[in-house]
A and B are shown apart, each in its own frame.
Chain A
Amino acid sequence: MKILDYVVIGSGCSGAISAQTLVEAGVDVTMIDTGILNTENNKLPANKNFLRLRKNDRNQYRYFIGDHGQGINWGEISKGAQITPTRQYMTKSVDKYIPFSSNNFSPLESLGYGGLGIGWGLQCWEYSDADIKKVGLDAKKIRQAYDVVAERIGISATKDSAAKYTIGPLKNFDPSADADKNHQFILNRYQKNENKMKKNGVYVGRTPLALITKKRPGRKAYRYLDTDFYSDNDESAWRPWITVNALRRKRNFTYIGNTLVTSFREKDDIVTINTLNIKTGEHIEIKCKNLILASGALGTARIVLRSFNEYETKIPILSNPHSYIPCIQPAMFGKGYESKKLGFGQLSYFIDPKGDDSGISVASSYGYQSLMLFRIIAQIPFNFLDGRILARYLTPGLIVLIAQHPDSTSPDKYLKLVKDSQTQTGDKLEANYELTDEEERTWDSREKKYISILRKFHTYAIKQVKTEHGSGIHYAGTLPFSEKPKKLALAASGRLHNTKHVYVADSSGFRYLPAKGLTFTLMANAHIVATNILKESK
């Protein structure tokens, strides 16, 4: 049996970036991935904007509501409600191959080609030095890695008054895409009172996004087609599969799809990986010299716990609690359809009275235009017929604020792998996730502050929707960094303690989860881990 040099598990954000670092160093890399593709006939026609599609395309129901009505979502907001039919393949077969059970934690996992990156909101906030330290990482190395990742994926951002919180000292980025009228309205009001706001620790600025506004090889600059929720038009938004596709054209990279990694064992400097082919049901062993786990904090936890036979062992879990806060801007009511619109997060809001960018919450706001109106109509406390007229009038003045909070470990937040003979792998992951009363109170008071600040921008919250724990798609901390060798923990290099050649390149090691979305930092960490592997395996 051939012994492979470097094997990366998973094609999500951390898998793609760590594999790229290794491939660029010239070593032979194999990526093992379930890699489920979108096989539904629901792709958007290319080069057409939202309005043209709405008015002309007879097949629009396929991508707006789905062949099976999966985009309709009647009733309470459930996990994954934000995922449109064209992206729902990202959760396909998850219940079958990576079952999860909990009464109070409802995560979203992916076996898709590109992992959770398929539905990523593209936000690329940099963590502060203080937060990077709390996470367990080296601030200087992470800052350098931010630049490397930004160069690879392409980021658009603005050096505005919130830049300290959004992009820090990041060097290379494109200018932000134009803000829509709703967000320009907020920015104008913020800028009028900027000094006073800053004195109170309030910072508002453009959200950095993994979205290019200048042309790159094979990718076009963002064109405001307003189909961002449904399609990766022109590849202007970065998704992990873009990098993996590029790697697959290199001689020193091999991709093995349809393969679920179940466990590994290490003996005599060789790592044996146990896999299950999801097409044939065949169990296959693969041997390698270096294994890099990048299956996400939950996926990696499953593989590691199973490999060490650690059933019923509790390990920590971190996840950002978050709320949706729909808001109205009466000044924008009845203003009509806006042709130049950005579907991604446009503004970031920070409240930091201490000014140290540590332990703070973050909010980001979105426009609503390219989502379907019937969902809004159902929320208006009138009959559907009259609700439709009101919704057409109100929607230009609707934005959605998403407030996210940091998370720390506690004995009431844990995962464990338990035996279950009914599942494909003979086990399932269970979780318990409870916030303390203090956390509940703090997050609630911070959200109230956001709501009161928005009022100063003539933007009024109409609802505060607390989501199920875990539905925010940010997970970390399952195998925390530990300087001392310890089971189920990572060394600073990303190596799994009690192994010689098994590394973890995703967010499993994070000891703390800042409120700012973790994706940019987990990619920076993936680059550092890959660099460490190259050094240690020399």
Chain B
Amino acid sequence: MLYEKTVGESSQNNKLIDFAFRHPSLITFLDAALVFLDPTSELRRRIYIMFSILEASPEYASSFLPRRFSFIETIGVFMVGIRAVLKILIGVIIIKVIRL
């Protein structure tokens, strides 16, 4: 059920996924841009499934549980937000380039 969609992928999605496999360090940028360009894209769906599997594994469960944040860490969270916005901008540029 979860894997059916891969069969009929569009060529654009294929291109994006091939690129992601070749450059795994750039996946986070592609993901960030796709939130706005194509939120239900195949790449995001695959990341979503991977996250669900990781979350349901005892080795990684702690990384998905709510935790207490100190004041300094709270500032860190805001920095993460700013970083995430920058990733969107970079991701949009990458996608525009590889789709050309």
Contacts and interface: CB of A to CB of B under 8 A. Distances in A.
Contacts of A55: 58, 61-62
Interface stretch (A269-277, A387-395, A458-466): A387-395
Interface stretch (B14-22, B27-35, B92-100): B27-35
The winner among B45, B56, B62 for most chain A CB atoms within 10 A is B56
Interface stretch (A17-25, A65-73, A283-291): A65-73
Interface residues of A, number: 43
Interface stretch (A330-338, A437-445, A478-486): A330-338
Interface in A368-411: 369, 372-374, 377-378, 381-393, 395-396
Nearest to A389: B80
Nearest to A51: B65
Contact of B56 (A64, A74, A392, A393): A64
A60 B58 contact: yes
B2 interface: yes
Interface string B79-97: 0110111011001000000
Interface residues of B, number: 41
B47 to A, nearest CB: 5
Nearest to A54: B61
Contacts of B77: 334, 389-390, 393
A72 B58 contact: no
Question: Could you tell me the dominant secondary structure of chain B's interface residues?
Answer: helix
A60 B35 contact: no
Interface in A64-108: 64-65, 68-72, 74-75
B1 A378 contact: no
A57 B1 CA distance: 25
Contacts of A58: 57-58
B68 A60 contact: no
Given A70-B1, A377-B51, A392-B64, 19 more contacts: A58-B57, A60-B57, A60-B58, A65-B53, A68-B2, A69-B1, A74-B49, A372-B56, A374-B52, A383-B31, A383-B35, A383-B88, A384-B51, A385-B31, A389-B77, A390-B77, A390-B81, A392-B67, A393-B77
Interface of A: 51, 54-58, 60-61, 64-65, 68-72, 74-75, 333-337, 369, 372-374, 377-378, 381-393, 395-396
25 contacts: A60-B57, A68-B2, A69-B49, A70-B1, A71-B52, A334-B68, A334-B69, A337-B65, A337-B68, A373-B64, A374-B51, A374-B52, A382-B81, A382-B85, A382-B87, A383-B31, A383-B35, A383-B87, A383-B88, A384-B48, A384-B51, A386-B83, A392-B64, A393-B77, A396-B66
